[in-house]
């Protein structure tokens, strides 16, 4: 089964930006980003093209088998 994605939403709950200096004394400096976020993805399943013919074939064979059993 595949799927079709209709909508993707990114929700950012919290962002913290602060200066960074390395604790080991190597004098590296920069900025530290801490982000809490959530992705929401909406979609719907799409059946494979081969699934429907297999279901139809199974129903037809079941129906044919019932007819054959009622004849005897």
pLDDT digits (tens, 9 = 90+) for 47-62: 677 777 888 888 888 8
Token representation of residue 70: 């009622």
Query: Can you list the alpha helix ranges (DSSP code H) found in the chain?
Result: 51-71
Domain ranges of the chain: 2-71
pLDDT tens string 7-28: 999 999 999 999 988 888 788 8
Please give the pLDDT value at position 9.
Answer: 94
User: Which has the closest alpha carbon to 14: 38, 32, 31, 36?
Assistant: 36
User: pTM above 0.75?
Assistant: no
In the numeric block, the tokens 């013919």 are attached to 53
pLDDT for the residue numbered 40: 92
Please give the distance of CA 25 from its chain centroid, rounded to a whole number: 44
């Amino acid at each position: 089964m595949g799927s079709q994605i209709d909508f993707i939403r990114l929700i950012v709950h919290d962002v913290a930006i602060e200066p960074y200096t390395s604790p080991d004394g190597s004098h590296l400096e920069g900025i530290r980003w801490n982000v809490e976020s959530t992705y929401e993805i909406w979609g719907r399943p799409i059946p494979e093209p081969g699934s429907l013919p297999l279901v139809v074939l199974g129903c037809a064979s079941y129906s044919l088998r019932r007819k054959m059993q009622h004849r005897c």
